[in-house]
Amino acid sequence: MDMRLRWFLNAEDRLDAWVTRQHQERVLAGRTAPVGPCPDEAFLEGIGRQSKQIALSDPRVDHAANCPVCMRQLLELRFQHQSRRRKLAFTAAVGCCLLIVAAFVVVSWRGTNATHPVDNMAAISETIDLSNAGTLRSLQSDPSQPSPLQSVSLPRALVKVTIILPRYSRPGQYTVAVTHDQSANDPLAHGAAAANGGGDREEVSVDLDLRKSKPGFYFLATTHEQDQASYYYPLQIK
Ligand SMILES: [Zn+2]
């Protein structure tokens, strides 16, 4: 009986598979003598699923292993069970592939954006004319006083901003930053470039990535390389 029941226990082993085939052929050809009546389909399904609730000492197992009717039903049930498992495995594999592809897309998207924020996306060109603007010098600011200055605005985007500096600004390197307050701490975005122009007009162009900023009121700060303090201009991000 042990040999006949091997099929139920382990169909992976080649010798067992061969023995199983030989046995199946004998059963299906009606050359075995099953004992007792045929068990119900639920029981055969349990065998087909290799359910642990079915004891191999159960006489119905011995019957099913020797009855051509039960054997055919078992083979059909096993086929159905396996194709269900294959479908599940296929679905899981497809799901895994989709996840991997999605993760790859996200990672590569983040990677390219982190390393080449300016290259991969067209920056919006904006010009801010401060030639006639007054300034809020950081050391002189009074937060209780509303700013008398006209606020300038920038879009929530990757911006290539050209700032026409206040008249008589010095040439040289400037740092431009978008800040929450009138301090250079924790700017939202910043860039540095040399001013160009001449005479009484200097302008400086920098890329500012404002895509992650929230709409609201900020400051645009300009700092000359040889200047300790920054100039702050009210800025609205829309
Ligand atoms: Zn039977």
pLDDT value at residue 66: 93
Q: In whole angstroms, what is the distance from residue 231 CA to residue 223 CA?
A: 6
Q: Identify how many contiguous H helices and E strands the chain contains and give both numbers.
A: 5, 10
More confident residue, 109 or 72: 72
Q: Which residue type sits at 42?
A: A
End-to-end CA distance of the chain: 82
Alpha-carbon distances, residue 69 vs 24, 41, 142, 215 (angstroms): 11, 11, 96, 75
Q: What is the mean pLDDT of residues 186-199?
A: 86
Q: Is the Cα torsion angle 38, 40, 46, 48 positive or negative in sign? A: positive
Q: Which residue type sits at 57?
A: S
Token pair for 39:
């068990």
Token pair for 89:
């495995």
Helix, coil or strand: residue 117: coil
Helix, coil or strand: residue 116: coil
pLDDT value at residue 206: 92
Q: Which residues surround ligand 1, an ion (CB under 5 A)?
A: 38, 67, 69-70
Query: Would strands 152-154 and 196-198 be described as parallel, antiparallel, or unpaired?
Result: unpaired
CA–centroid distance, residue 63 to ligand 1 (Å): 6
CA–centroid distance, residue 12 to ligand 1 (Å): 25
CA–centroid distance, residue 83 to ligand 1 (Å): 24
User: Residue 234 — pLDDT band, cuts 50, 70, 90?
Assistant: confident
3-state secondary structure 161-196: EEEECCCCCCCCEEEEEEECCCCCCCCCEEEEEECE
Task: Give the model confidence (pLDDT) of 43-56 as tens digits.
Answer: 998 888 878 888 88
CA–centroid distance, residue 57 to ligand 1 (Å): 16
Residues whose CB falls within 8 Å of the CB of residue 105, separated by 6 or more in sequence, listed in order: none
More confident residue, 118 or 35: 35
User: Residue 204 — pLDDT band, cuts 50, 70, 90?
Assistant: very high
